[in-house]
Amino acid sequence: MKFTDGFWQLRPGVTALYAQEAYDIAETTTADGPGIVITAPTMVIAKRGDTLNRPVLTTTLSSPAEGVIRVRIAHHEGGRWHGGFALPGAGTGAARASLTDDGGSLDAGALVARIAPGAPWDLSFEVDGRRVTGSGHKAQGYVRLASDAQVDQGIVSNARQGGTVPPESSFVHEQLDLGVGELVYGLGERFGPLVKNGQSVDIWNADGGTSSEQAYKSIPFHLSNRGYGVLVNDPGHVSYEVGSEAVERVQFSVPGEVLEYFVIAGPTPKDVLVRYTALTGRPPVVPAWSYGLWLSTSFTTDYDEQTVSSFIDEMAARELPVSVFHFDCFWMREFNWCDFEWDTRVFPDPDGMLARLHEKDLRVCVWINPYIGQRSPLFREAADQGFLVRRPDGSVWQWDLWQAGMGLVDFTNPEATAWYQGHLRRLVDQGVDCFKTDFGERIPTEVVWADGSDPARMHNLYTDLYNRAVHDVLTEARGADDAVLFARSATAGGQSMPVHWGGDSTSTYASMAETLRGGLSLALSGFAFWSHDIGGFEGTPDAGVFKRWTAFGLLGSHSRFHGSSSYRVPWAFDDEAVDVTRRFTHLKMRLMPYLYQQGLDAATTGIPLMRPMQLEFPDDPAVGYLDRQYMLGSSLLVAPVFAADGSVEFYLPEGEWTSLLTGETVTGGGWRRETHGFDSLPLYVRPGTALPWGARTDRPDYDYHEGLEMRVFAGGSGRSSVTVTNPDGDRRAYDVDLGEVTR
């Protein structure tokens, strides 16, 4: 949100008060432990009379964890604040406060905050003794808008979005310095440019598709290439101006009287993500079977058990291993979504069908959402018991988009959550193994929540309650290491309930590229596991797009064939599509000893499986803007093909890289242009890698130690220990001579 008119003036109808000096600096005790509190008048105090009728901003510094500093800016401490996120990693006593004639400092280990006394206002942050950013003159501000102020307050209303950003009259903002050459990443799964410099970004979840500026997963966390990250601790509407309004700064603003944010130390991007996910939540271990291919009915296609069985049998006959079969919306009767009842007109024997699918060694996923259609018998039951969100006049909130007269389950009501979970448990007992938790973004703001929550806060936070309710059922039924979702919406901390997928893309090369940008942006926002609809969702891809997307989709943590109005079985495109699917599903199965270990490591560190080049090569200036390639784990470089003619340009960092598909060795340190057939793409192994290579191509959850090969690639020397862990927990370290190249 922009408040200024150029460098000197404010926009019409805007008044602003800025922290002008650190008038008083004192030690204090906070919920985090030792801290510093600063009184910052909104003018420089030259004489006693200047203290009268003069607002101040109160800034408090504290630390909930080593390398993390909390900054709280308050105009009126008793004023409205949305409240923060759940922070499972927050503790106490992580910092040491001190005061000298030179001001105050809060030492949180790798990160130190320093406040200079007097004017101008100067709050700086140092990582390992090096200043990385700071809050300077006119950075901390309290802004008020007149009723007719000419300020764009964020997202314009659209029918699909649901709750629009409520109009506000007061805001608190902070601006942190951007250094020369500094690049900003993150802010959730955003499908525009990976580097956020120059962008205005609203943290407000919306169902906008991948070809828009809106996002299903809006995360108020950004990561800088200068060795730090920042989380704005507000689940409500956070508005960012990233080097856009003030080109030398990142501005973030929230409505109300209080803004709270955390600065998180590096010095490397990985270090930032390790600390960030320790604070907000790490992903659990996801089961090995979930890494296999997920095959869907698609959305509006006609299907019954015979259709499902024919797909599965044809996949098996073509040696295309499937791990999970997904039933999309129409497993339930139309107009009833979501009543958790199989449509017996097309599935007359659901218990028997699920048993038959399990006999084929498949897991079963079914689609759900948090809405209850008016036609469903559950609607009246939920409404009568107070389980649906209500309007201020006490009536049930309803609308006709998606399902006629649908209501929204109120997960702030523990009884409503238990009721919803009871229906899920019935499905789990029936044989359902996991759930696709669709939607969670169209959350209204003109409502009253059971627990009295601020509606603006709940708009983004709703997804966390929704996904948590479902994930808890699966954890309870399957165990912590066997629970997995396929979720669309998220907010900060959502990485602790994987897996998430990229939402509604179109079936084009351009949409394939924007999908990858969204995944990379989400990875830099702390999410370790991610997927997308192979081939695109809207429309039907031509055979070329489908084959290129298949290669890309099977080189990720989780892989799913899914569409809207057409099936996504490979033979629906051409015979070569079958061959491409076989080649890359078999390749992924062979890579499972490597991928599964990377997933286990993600549960420990928070480092994602799909890694932007910036994570693995932070000291290489050439990777700063790369958004058409990625690292799969620490050792495999993938450059999907986004062109019909098979041409692709990509960058190889320095060293001796080897094509995993051809064995060709290439010297890195520059750009390459290659042309690939549909059965190939640039897939390079990092220099000096010892890659564990599995023995099976028919399933992802097998004994990785049996028949294991350790493939050693050029560019290394000495010895290395490579860990391989079975799905059953059997963990072994293999000693490898990196000088004995086997490929």
Contacts of 476 (CB under 8 A, 6+ apart): none
Q: What pLDDT, in 10s, does the model give residues 206-249?
A: 999 999 999 999 999 999 999 999 999 999 999 999 999 999 99
Please, what's the b/e burial string for 327-363 (b: 16 or more CB within 10 A of its CB; e: otherwise)?
bbbbbbbeebbbbbbbbeeebeebeebbebbeeeebb
**To the nearest whole percent, how much of the chain has pLDDT over 90?**
96
- Interval 407-430 mean pLDDT: 98
Q: What pLDDT shows up at residue 153?
A: 58
Confidence of residue 156 (pLDDT cuts 50, 70, 90): very low
Confidence of residue 165 (pLDDT cuts 50, 70, 90): confident
Which helix H or strand E contains 614, and what residues bound it? Answer: helix 613-616
Q: What average pLDDT does the segment 61-82 reach?
A: 94
| Position with higher pLDDT, 317 vs 153 | 317
At residue 534, the 3 state secondary structure works out as strand
**Rounded Cα–Cα distance for residues 444 and 205 (Å):** 11
Average pLDDT, integer, range 262-282: 98
Q: Identify the pLDDT of residue 158.
A: 54
Task: Compute the average pLDDT of residues 364-391.
Answer: 97
pLDDT at 160: 59
State yes or no: pLDDT of 155 exceeds 70.
Answer: no
Per the prediction, the chain carries an average pLDDT of 96
Q: Does 489 have pLDDT greater than 60? A: yes
Record the tokens describing residue 50, joined without a space.
């200047």
CB contact at 8 A, 643 and 549:
no
Q: Of all residues in the chain, what percent carry a pLDDT higher than 70?
A: 98
pLDDT digits (tens, 9 = 90+) for 428-458: 999 999 999 999 999 999 999 999 999 999 9
Active site residue: 441, 514, 533, 627, which one? 441
438 included as an active-site residue: yes
Is 625's pLDDT higher than 80?
yes
Integer Cα distance of 697 and 457 in angstroms: 47
Report the relative pairing of strands 293-296 and 238-242 from DSSP bridges.
unpaired
Domains and CATH numbers, the chain: 4-148+159-280 (2.60.40.1760), 288-368+412-604 (3.20.20.80), 622-737 (2.60.40.4040)
pLDDT for 702-719, tens place per residue? 999 999 999 999 999 999
Q: Of 215, 311, 303, nearest to 561 (Cα)?
A: 311
Fill in the amino acid letter for 441.
Answer: E
Give the CA distances from residue 388 to residues 317, 335, 447, 453, in Å, rounded to whole numbers and listed in that order. 47, 17, 11, 14
Catalytic site residue 433?
no
Q: Are 542 and 205 in contact (CB under 8 A)?
A: no
> What pLDDT, in 10s, does the model give residues 100-128?
999 999 999 999 999 999 999 999 999 99
pLDDT tens digits, 654-681: 999 999 999 999 999 999 999 999 999 9
pTM more than 0.85: yes
Query: Which residues, at least 6 apart from 405, have a Cβ–Cβ distance to it below 8 Å?
Result: 373, 374, 375, 379, 398, 399
Predicted confidence band of residue 81 (pLDDT cuts 50, 70, 90): confident
Q: At what angle do helices 350-359 and 305-317 cross, to 10 degrees?
A: 10
Q: Which of 504, 514, 533, 656 is catalytic?
A: 504
Give CA–CA dist 366/424, Å, rounded: 10
Band the pLDDT of 574: cuts 50, 70, 90: very high
Cβ within 8 Å of residue 619, ≥6 positions away: none
pLDDT at 310 over 70: yes
Task: Examine the pLDDT at 157 and tell me if it is beyond 60.
Answer: no
8 A C-beta contact, residue 528 and residue 283: yes
pLDDT tens figures, 19-40: 999 999 999 999 999 999 999 9
Instruction: Say whether 730 is catalytic.
Output: no
What is the average pLDDT across 257-266? 98
Choose, from 107, 438, 454, 464, the residue flagged as catalytic: 438
